């Protein structure tokens, strides 16, 4: 199996690392996933980590995407400006060590607001490269920082980062709602009630305080408070989109959070198309295939 490996693709995130032994035609023949994300490593740790990957997978060339190329990672791979294509990402990849290239992220430098992404661009453009999504599309990638990403003719043209997941974790652990949000977060009546409130809310901070008031005044069951609060925050996020009825939303990722966003988008009048697994490796492979 290792003998078929042409190169190693790595999705190196903040907390997790996913490495893939790749064939020349883009097939995954071996994988490794662990908790050695950038927060677990110092810049001096990366040469040893790279050597270990080569020992495991038996290939010399390594192509890396994700937060490893951020200011908190190994070395910064400077952002390229939107509109961004796979070809532009490949051309701007940073040679950080012999036969190790880091794919840069994408930035919005001009216009009404700044924004950056690092890692999501490979997944989006990888999905397009395989035909899992059309060249012109709207994507949603739920996570700690949810991303809404727009593409036109195979280029990332605009995106918005929403700190929904991080804010929920903060209010759950700190402040006046701490201790009230220990219940399960799952789809159900409380979550959908929260979605509706979030979509209508003009003031997220006020809508969140209503969680406390609702519990104290017996209008919200304590066991439902976490699901309701999650619904409020996700509903507010999804409610910012005024174009959900115009085109499908291509959802990247899986798991419980993606399922909640599927409900939220559908309840808001949108239609979700789930992108199959493999978009990240497809994007890295497309960039590897552009090598000189």
Residues 167 and 269 grouped into a single domain? yes
CA 184 to chain centre: 23
Q: What is the predicted pLDDT for the residue at 1?
A: 42
120 falls within a domain? no
Length of the chain: 292
Distance between CA 145 and CA 178 in Å, rounded?
Answer: 21
- The pLDDT, as a whole number, for residue 116 is 97
Domain CATH for 71: 3.30.420.300
Is residue 114 domain-resident?
Answer: no
> Which residues does 36 contact at the CB level (< 8 Å), separation at least 6?
17, 49
Range of the domain at 65: 2-107
* Position 100 in a domain: yes
Q: What is the domain count for the chain? A: 2
Consecutive sets of 10 residues in the chain, 292 residues long: mean pLDDT of each? Answer: 80 95 95 95 95 93 96 96 97 96 96 94 97 98 96 98 96 96 97 98 96 98 98 97 94 94 97 95 96 64
Q: Of 244, 246, 247, 211, which Cα lies nearest the Cα of 230? A: 211
CATH number, domain with residue 234: 3.30.420.310
Question: Is the domain of 188 the same as that of 267?
Answer: yes
With beta carbons less than 8 A apart as the criterion, state whether 74 and 50 touch.
no
Q: Are residues 103 and 166 in the same domain?
A: no
User: At which residue do the structure tokens 């999501």 appear?
Assistant: 120
Q: What's the pLDDT tens digit per position in 149-190?
A: 999 999 999 999 999 999 999 999 999 999 999 999 999 999
pTM for this structure?
A: 0.94
Q: Which of 226, 239, 255 is nearest to 200 (CA)?
A: 239
Question: Both 87 and 15 in a single domain?
Answer: yes
Secondary structure string (H, E, C) spanning 154-173: CEEEEEEEECHHHHHHHHHH
Rg (CA), the chain: 20
| pLDDT of amino acid 2 | 45
- 96 and 182 share one domain: no
């Amino acid at each position: 199996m290792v003998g078929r490996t042409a190169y190693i693709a790595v999705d190196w995130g903040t907390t997790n690392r996913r490495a893939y032994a790749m064939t020349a035609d883009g097939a995954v023949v071996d994988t490794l996933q662990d908790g050695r994300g950038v927060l677990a490593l110092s810049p001096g740790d990366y040469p040893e980590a790279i050597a270990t990957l080569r020992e495991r997978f038996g290939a010399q060339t390594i192509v890396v995407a994700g937060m490893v190329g951020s200011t908190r990672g190994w070395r910064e791979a400077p952002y390229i400006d939107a509109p961004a294509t796979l070809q532009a990402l490949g051309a701007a990849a940073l040679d950080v060590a012999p036969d190790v290239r880091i794919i840069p992220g994408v930035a919005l430098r001009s216009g009404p607001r700044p924004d950056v992404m690092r890692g999501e661009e490979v997944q989006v453009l990888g999905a397009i490269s395989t035909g899992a999504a059309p060249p012109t599309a709207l994507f949603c990638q739920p996570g700690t920082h949810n991303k809404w990403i727009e593409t036109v003719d195979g280029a990332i043209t605009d995106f918005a980062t929403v700190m929904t997941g991080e804010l929920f974790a903060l209010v759950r652990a700190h402040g006046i709602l701490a201790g009230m949000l220990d219940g399960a977060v799952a789809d159900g009546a409380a979550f959908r009630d929260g979605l509706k409130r979030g979509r209508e809310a003009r003031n997220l901070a006020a809508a969140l305080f209503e969680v406390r008031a609702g519990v104290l005044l017996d209008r919200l069951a304590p066991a439902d408070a976490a699901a309701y609060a999650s619904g409020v925050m996700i509903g507010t996020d999804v409610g910012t989109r005024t174009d959900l009825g115009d085109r499908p939303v291509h959802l990247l990722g899986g798991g419980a959070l993606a399922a909640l966003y599927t409900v939220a988008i559908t309840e808001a009048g949108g239609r979700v198309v789930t992108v199959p697994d493999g978009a990240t490796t497809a994007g890295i492979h497309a960039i590897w295939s552009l090598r000189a």
